[in-house]
A = this chain, B = another copy of it.
């Protein structure tokens, strides 16, 4: 395995441990990363992310939807990833999560909106894809890609979230801060009326918040927390 591929595979393994440790995923959910300069990506198998312990546990897929390598089976929802990597060259990592308070927002029919500095990593409100079906075919995968457009992700009603990033750390940090935003927004509603960040504030704060040192400081913290 070349060093760049090895590094990306290790990031996917670390991301799996982080998402489990924080309860962003439990038995279901997956994580993937594009292999640069290729038509391929690595994805966690059809198993709980808690079982993903080494690069050898991952599955390598191509953008035609075919498995290329790996002893494990790809997840049923691999099309969510395939379709996103096809249409979004800016995307290098995808987190398919079941974060809890975020899910409650989708169930209540309300998007999650930035209310704090870190939440600006989502670039604005995260909208709700209303179809509760699994993203297990090219057809529904393409519909979801069209729905997300140029955005950072979507809530899937009754079925968690899909979050993209330029790489694995950005997708993971976004998944964590999206849940944090949802929980802050919920608590603020219990206190009174949330003061949402304005488009100008989101724009300004997101520039800082998505800078590499900032994302990598958070990634380092969550790696520490997960013991990886």
Residues from chain B with Cβ under 8 Å of A159 in the complex = 116-117
Given A27-B217, A116-B107, A218-B27, residue A50 in contact with residue B192 (CB < 8 A): no
Is B134 touching A222 in the complex (CB atoms < 8 A)? no
Is B115 touching A184 in the complex (CB atoms < 8 A)? no
A175-205 residues with Cβ-Cβ distance < 8 A to B are 183-195, 197, 201, 204-205
Q: Tell me the bound Cα distance from A183 to B185 in angstroms.
A: 15
Residues from chain B with Cβ under 8 Å of A50 in the complex = 221, 224-225
Q: Give the secondary structure class of A's interface.
A: helix
Q: Which of A27, A103, A184 has the most CB of B within 10 A?
A: A27
Interface size on A, residues (CB 8 A): 54
Closest residue to A219 on the B side, CB-wise?
B27
Asked if A132 lies at the interface with its beta carbon under 8 angstroms from chain B, I say yes
Q: Tell me the bound Cα distance from A125 to B149 in angstroms.
A: 36
Given A184-B100, A186-B187, A221-B48, residue A132 in contact with residue B197 (CB < 8 A): yes
Residues from chain B with Cβ under 8 Å of A189 in the complex = 108, 190-191
Chain A: residues with CB nearer than 8 A to chain B? 26-28, 46-48, 50-51, 100-101, 103-105, 107-110, 115-119, 132-134, 157-159, 183-195, 197, 201, 204-205, 208, 213, 217-218, 220-222, 224-225
